[in-house]
Amino acid sequence: MLDIKFIRENKDVVIAGAKKKHIDVDIEALITLDEKRRELQAAVDDMRAQQNTASTAIASAATPEDRQELIANISTLKDSLKAKEEELQNVMKEWRALMVLVPNVPDMSVPDGESDADNQEVKTWGKIPKFNFEPKSHVDLMLMHDMADFERGTKVAGFRGYFLKNDGARLTWAIWHYAQEFFLKKEFVPMIVPSMIRREPFIGTGYLPQSEEDLYKTQDADYLAGTAEVATMGYYMDEVIDKTQLPMKFLSFSPCFRREAGAHGKDTRGMIRVHEFYKWEQVVLCEANHTESVKWHEWINRNTEEFIESLNIPYHTVVNCGGDLGLGQVKKYDIELWVPGEKTYREIASTSYFHDFQTRRLNTRYRAEDGTMRFAHSLNGTAIPTPRILVSIIENFQQADGSILIPEVLRAYMGKNEITKHS
């Protein structure tokens, strides 16, 4: 959430930012409503002060008659105050509803565009494999080696359901173990976080109210998170952090759930788009400083790039255009891995920074050197998700006979060098 003072003083910037993100929000209506809110708040504060003065006067009234007259006056004042407070409460409800719709202002370096088709490539890495045979899809290879069962997955879990088994399960566990070892060398605090979460952290991180259709909801009005970011950011909700602890770096792990409500007909086969998955997430809280945010954004993005490079999977990195940014993101990178079966790159990770957009909504603060309270800056980025990364590993490392080479860094965890029909 943006500071209302910033919105009032930088109205044109906020309007331009919303336009760049292709988000429809009436900033003029918000400012008009805010003026009414401020007027009502001033009136309520004045009437409360009058009430306090009258109460003091009643206590020190010279005669019973004076006391009765003052009591009659304060009774009228109380009725007026109650009516004014109710009016303020109604205006505040409208004001808050509009405030949570205002998007963060994107960085100047964010390119214009309407969708992910307009994202701009900023880096490529690795050699795209050239096969002297017709490459198979990860689905065909996994079925060939009894690594997955999609038919029974659908029977048990419904559309997009799956079972991982044998080397499909082993390869996933190998990635988890290696990811833990790789990222914890970078001085993260490891956490296993909840997936079933109250509404407040979702509002705080900006996933509600805009993305509710893509969330699973329980009968108790809690939600299932699609990323460990939500719970991790909620960890310090309504708390003041010791500044000496900044930056805080968390490596959070959780099961994740997404309805994929807008993905009808897309990626219906295989591991690209599923409802239930697992993810390691990088989350950083740092000082309220743009330069610090930019520095840590590049750092977490590079962490994931290095992880992919250690697996020797070709990838490219894109900077997301305005129309492909979320409500709170200032800037975002997507890392996309080469998928031979589709002859294209597919997203594996995203890294973003938010300034104080999330922490203001979550009320996560620290005390600066001058004694003032500041909202920390927040960042997050995918470390690695499973099972999606299996797609690129299996397809890029397939051999002519259908066997699959295991990336060298995972072999110690798998106890072998390749997956064959007889392994």
The residue type at 160: R
The DSSP bridge partners found for residue 381 are 282, 351
H helix intervals, 312-347: none
The DSSP bridge partners found for residue 189 are 250
The DSSP bridge partners found for residue 276 are 257
Q: Which of the residues 94, 276, 347, 418 is marked catalytic? A: 347
Cα 17 to Cα 21, 319, 327, 343: the distances in Å are 6, 17, 10, 35
Look up 347 and say whether it is catalytic.
yes
CA atoms within 13 A on the CB side of 316: 16
Q: Which of the residues 37, 160, 170, 258 is marked catalytic? A: 258
Q: Which of the residues 8, 48, 273, 374 is marked catalytic? A: 273
Q: 351: which residues sit within 8 A by CB, 6+ positions away? A: 282, 297, 300, 301, 304, 332, 333, 335, 379, 380, 381, 382
The C-alpha atoms of residue 105 and residue 327 are separated, in whole angstroms, by 9
The DSSP bridge partners found for residue 250 are 189, 283
The C-alpha atoms of residue 234 and residue 95 are separated, in whole angstroms, by 23
CA atoms within 13 A on the CB side of 155: 5
What single DSSP character describes residue 129?
A: P
Look up 388 and say whether it is catalytic.
yes
Interhelix angle 64-99/27-59, rounded to 10 degrees, is 160
The C-alpha atoms of residue 296 and residue 308 are separated, in whole angstroms, by 19
Residues marked active site are found at: 258, 273, 347, 350, 388
